[in-house]
């Protein structure tokens, strides 16, 4: 199992503070949603977690080791990363595309081993794309492509997974498919971190939410505790219908409102 510790991390891009003094301890076996308005710093936060952008203050540790102490391949073997907005440009078969997830395990110019092929097979099965294995990846629908790219990340065999906006451009059915897949990975013992915009999906599937607002951590906790009317008004500038009487809160944005105060 893998753990990630964010210790008062800050990130500056140029002269602008994008992330400011965020601390959190992220443990395996959980699906953790990172939510917040556009431009709040969510993607920068997870990229800093992966060592993809330098931090200007604080520390990121994976299993107690500073993230910058890992080599790129070693870090990729610890936590797989699915960036947002990936475009496919080469007419690879689905199977070959998923196999790219094994690159952190391969020496230059080496061939895949039986263990690598088995990992690819397992990843395609977990993402339910075995039936697509011979398809040209450029011919996939949006939902199929999302699952195939998740399969590529799963093929790494890492103990953690960071997915940045994995629901973007997907219809509701495919959003459910992807969230079910992420939840299964978490229940299998992985640490899964997903940047999400859909508050209902975040409320229904995530064990914990980190709410980022203007670069700071505005709230951290159970979905029912984070997604309150006051916080939604203060961070998103919306009113919402919120039902808390079920197993997970239901959140339906209703209208724009003027924030009256900052959330505690």
Render pLDDT for 147-192 as a digit per residue (tens, 0 to 9): 999 999 999 999 999 999 999 888 899 899 999 999 999 999 999 9
The full 3-state SS of the chain, as one line of letters, equals CCCEEEEEEEEEECCEEEEEEEEEEECCCCEEEEECCCCCCHHHHHHHHCCCCCCCEEEEEECCEEHHHCCHHHHHHHEEEECCCCCCCCCCEHHHHHHHHHHHHCCCCCCCCHHHHHHHHHHHHHCCCHHHCCCEHHHCCHHHHHHHHHHHHHHCCCCEEEEECCCCCCCHHHHHHHHHHHHHHHHCCCEEEEECCCHHHHHHHCCEEEEEECCEEEEEECHHHHCCHHHHHHHHCEEEEEECCCCCCEEEEEEECCCCCCCC
In a domain, 136, yes or no: no
In a domain, 185, yes or no: yes
Tell me how crowded residue 84 is: count the other CB atoms within 10 A of its CB: 13
C-alpha 17 chain-centroid distance: 22
Statement: residue 262 has pLDDT above 60 = no
Neighbouring-strand partners of residue 258: none
pTM as predicted: 0.93
Q: What is the mean pLDDT of the chain?
A: 92
Per-residue pLDDT reduced to its tens digit, 41-71: 999 999 999 999 999 999 999 999 999 999 9
> What domain range includes position 49?
4-88+159-256
pLDDT at 260: 62
In a domain, 19, yes or no: yes
Q: Provide, rounded to the nearest whole percent, the portion of the chain with pLDDT above 90.
A: 82
pLDDT at 84: 87
Statement: residue 221 has pLDDT above 70 = yes
In a domain, 150, yes or no: no
In a domain, 152, yes or no: no
Statement: residue 258 has pLDDT above 60 = yes
Separation between Cα atoms, residue 46 and residue 49, nearest integer Å: 5
- Do 140 and 127 touch, CB atoms closer than 8 A? no
pLDDT confidence band for 263 (50 / 70 / 90): very low
In a domain, 263, yes or no: no
Statement: residue 225 has pLDDT above 50 = yes
Neighbouring-strand partners of residue 33: 194, 209
In a domain, 56, yes or no: yes
pLDDT confidence band for 261 (50 / 70 / 90): low
Instruction: Indicate the number of domains in the chain.
Output: 1
Separation between Cα atoms, residue 223 and residue 205, nearest integer Å: 9
Q: What is the CATH number of the domain that holds 192?
A: 3.40.50.300
Non-local CB neighbours of 204 within 8 Å, separated by 6+ positions: 179, 223, 248, 249, 250
Per-residue pLDDT reduced to its tens digit, 14-39: 889 999 999 999 999 999 999 999 99
In a domain, 229, yes or no: yes
Tell me how crowded residue 54 is: count the other CB atoms within 10 A of its CB: 10
């Amino acid at each position: 199992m893998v753990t990630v510790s964010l210790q008062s991390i800050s990130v500056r891009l140029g002269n602008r503070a994008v992330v400011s003094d965020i601390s959190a301890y992220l443990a395996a076996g959980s699906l953790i949603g990172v939510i917040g308005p556009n431009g709040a710093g969510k993607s920068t936060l997870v990229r800093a977690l992966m060592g993809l952008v330098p931090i200007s203050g604080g520390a990121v540790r994976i299993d107690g080791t500073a993230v910058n102490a890992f080599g790129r391949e070693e870090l990729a073997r610890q936590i797989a990363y699915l960036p947002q907005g990936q475009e496919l440009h080469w007419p690879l078969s689905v199977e070959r595309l998923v196999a790219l997830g094994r690159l952190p395990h391969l020496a230059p110019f080496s061939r895949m081993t039986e263990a690598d092929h088995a990992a690819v097979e397992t990843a395609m099965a977990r993402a339910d794309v075995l039936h697509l294995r011979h398809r040209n990846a450029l011919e996939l629908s949006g939902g199929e492509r999302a699952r195939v790219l998740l399969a590529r990340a799963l093929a790494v065999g890492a103990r953690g997974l960071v997915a940045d906006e994995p629901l973007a451009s997907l219809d509701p059915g495919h959003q459910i498919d992807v969230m079910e897949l992420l939840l299964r990975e978490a229940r299998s013992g992985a640490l899964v971190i997903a940047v999400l915009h859909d508050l209902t999906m975040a409320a229904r599937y995530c064990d914990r939410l980190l709410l980022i607002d203007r670069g700071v951590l505005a709230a951290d906790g159970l979905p029912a505790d984070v997604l309150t009317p006051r916080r939604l008004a203060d961070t998103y500038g919306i009113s919402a219908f919120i039902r808390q009487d079920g197993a997970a809160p239901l959140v339906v944005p209703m209208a724009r409102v003027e924030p009256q105060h900052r959330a505690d």
